Amino acid sequence: MQPSRMLSGSEVFVPAATSLLLTLMVMGSAMAVIFSAYEYRRLFNQHQVLVQQWDDLQVEWGQYLLEQSVWSAHHRVEAVAADKMNMVVPATEAIEIVRNEQR
């Protein structure tokens, strides 16, 4: 039987350093996966909030368009003109058609 020899410092250090480096890389990779999953969830929630705000703004815009059409309806404009400005529809004989012909 041959006596066992002692390992040198470099023979022990290199595998230990390699194992430590690989362990740190695996831990770093795991932390990166955790961070990216967290960031995805955070951005997805923010996206959902923005989509809800967009939907609310679309509804509000539709309501403003309806309100605008009500305020500018012909019968309302005619009623305001008659009531507040004392305007009347002229008689047919009083209407003159003016043509603007360009040559």
Report the C-alpha gap between 71 and 88 in whole angstroms.
20
Query: Among positive and negative, which fits the CA dihedral 87, 88, 93, 99?
Result: positive
Quick: pLDDT tens for 51-62: 999 999 999 999
Predicted confidence (pLDDT) per residue in 51-98, tens digit? 999 999 999 999 999 999 998 898 888 898 999 999 988 899 999 888
Which residue type sits at 96?
E
Q: What is the DSSP string of 29-78?
A: HHHHHHHHHHHHHHHHHHHHHHHHHHHHHHHHHHHHHHHHHHHT-HHHHH
